[in-house]
Amino acid sequence: MHDLCLVLNVMIPPKFKVPDFEKYKGDTCPESHLIMYARKMTAYKDNEPLLIHCFQESLAGPAAMWYMNLKGISTFQELAGAFIQQYKYNSYLAPNRRELEAMTQGHKKSFKEYA
């Protein structure tokens, strides 16, 4: 068991229910995913082993496989850093259609700047 677990000694609070997370599949901004995860887990911010253990519930596909191959993580900060490092290329993606549709021309921006 020791070799299979990323975090040992996880203390799950009584009546704890894992929140429903939007699954990260490796194709969107990792920072946004971490923010949403942290906000849903705020009540457990002082329980780092639980934060690390439950992070896998917010992953799917290649991101879940990445998590399963992690070794040597002892803090949530280390996990967050490794996650951002792994998927940082998604932070620089061009805006998607929804983001483009939501854009508006600023009050003092010329049409050229807006375009």
Tens of pLDDT, residues 14-50: 999 999 999 999 988 899 999 999 999 999 999 999 9
Tens of pLDDT, residues 90-99: 766 666 777 7
> What SS3 class is residue 24?
strand
Question: In the chain, what are the domain boundaries?
Answer: 22-93
pTM: 0.75
Helix 48-55 crosses helix 76-87 at what angle (to 10 degrees)?
Answer: 30
Tokens of residue 114, six digits: 């807006």
64 CB burial (10 A radius; 0-12, 13-18, 19+):
middle
